[in-house]
Amino acid sequence: VLRAQPRLRLRLAHVVAPDTPKGLMATRLQALLAQRSEGAVVLDVYPNGSLYSDADELEALQWGAVELLIPSLSKFGRLGTAVFELFDLPFLFADRAAVRRVVEGEWARELFEPLQRHGLLGLGFLDNGFKHMSARTHPLREPRDYRGLRMRVQPSLTIAAQMRALGAYPVMMDFAATRHALARGVVDGTENPLTNFWSGRMHEVQRHLTLSAHGYLGYAVVANATFWAHLPQPERRLIEVALADAIAFGNAMALQQEQRALQALRDDGRIQLHYPSPEEREALRQAMAPADDALAARIGPRWVRAMRE
């Protein structure tokens, strides 16, 4: 039975397509809330940066212009909180299971703690996947292939430092602006998980994709802390449980959509896929390594040590 008037209306803005892991998780959350509250709790989802883009979405959450966000972990540095850049360190996590051990373990609460003084509350972590390097001009096989390239990166000093270590010029730019910038040659290349690369139609404006899997891209689900504190207990519980279910669904979708994106890229045929050998990946790791110590100091040596162990 759907009620005429919702009792509670929430807004969630995000910057990627509806068929990405994040987009699918958001619409699953929307459906679960509607179903389980019989229409009393409504979640409005704004995909593709249609409401806010990378540059302003965190501020919008702080103002209360939206109640929920799912920014990538690389975007929290803007708040002056570097700890999430931990997830940007190259070659740190062997696979998704290694990431899950961190974000579902004892550290999760500690990771979210610094968000509180910014008026935000961390509610969970969501996967996308591992990032791969792309370029328009030539295949990226060896570290020297990156020299002089302008590479779009997320606003993470840790990612920027990796690109600099390769001799490339990092250009920080909103996700929504990236495809256009690649098409116009404002930047030469970028790094993405396959789902964002495919759904962002970057294969139309890049020629080479190297399946480097050199770094992880995941998300934190965050709420406006004041909004959360004022939620009646039953609604808060409803959202918490629905969120946990939607995250589990989103994580499963991350794997499925990644495989679909790879198949779609192969079928499309416009982009040349390069599969690096173990030696080529090791050369990339070594070329990025000089950035590591300074980054560990920025992020917190304690964290970096703990993750490595």
By CB under 6 A, name the binding residues for ligand SIN. Answer: 15-16, 22, 72, 128, 154, 175, 196
Decide: residue 168, CB within 10 A, 0-12 exposed, 13-18 middle, 19+ buried: buried
Q: How far is the CB of 2 from ligand SIN (least distance, A)?
A: 31
* Residue 257 to residue 265: CA distance in whole angstroms: 12
**Beta bridge pairs of residue 163:** none
Determine phi and psi for 74, rounding to 5 degrees.
Answer: -75, -5
Query: For ligand SIN, which is the closer residue by CB, 128 or 210?
Result: 128
Q: How far is the CB of 204 from ligand SIN (least distance, A)?
A: 17
Residues in the chain: 309
Backbone angle region of 241, left / alpha / beta, with phi > 0 → left and psi within -120 to 50 → alpha: alpha
Query: For ligand SIN, which is the closer residue by CB, 25 or 284?
Result: 25
Query: For ligand SIN, which is the closer residue by CB, 123 or 238?
Result: 123
Q: How far is the CB of 23 from ligand SIN (least distance, A)?
A: 9
Q: Which amino acid type is present at position 66?
A: V
Nearest to 121 by CA among 223, 230, 14, 238: 223
Q: How far is the CB of 54 from ligand SIN (least distance, A)?
A: 6
Determine phi and psi for 132, rounding to 5 degrees.
Answer: -130, 150
Query: For ligand SIN, which is the closer residue by CB, 172 or 283?
Result: 172
Q: How far is the CB of 175 from ligand SIN (least distance, A)?
A: 3
* Residue 143 to residue 159: CA distance in whole angstroms: 15
Q: How far is the CB of 176 from ligand SIN (least distance, A)?
A: 9
Name the residue number minimizing CB distance to ligand SIN.
175
Structure-token pair, residue 121: 């509350």
**Beta bridge pairs of residue 124:** 221
What DSSP string describes 7-38?
A: SEEEEEE-SS-TTSHHHHHHHHHHHHHHHHTT
Q: How far is the CB of 154 from ligand SIN (least distance, A)?
A: 5
Query: For ligand SIN, which is the closer residue by CB, 37 or 156?
Result: 156
All residues at 6 or more sequence positions from 63 whose CB lies less than 8 Å from its CB, including other chains = none
Query: For ligand SIN, which is the closer residue by CB, 171 or 238?
Result: 171
Q: How far is the CB of 153 from ligand SIN (least distance, A)?
A: 8
Structure-token pair, residue 224: 């406006």
Sign of CA dihedral 108, 12, 53, 166: positive
Query: For ligand SIN, which is the closer residue by CB, 72 or 224?
Result: 72
CB-CB contact of 121 with 220 (8 Å): no
Query: For ligand SIN, which is the closer residue by CB, 194 or 296?
Result: 194
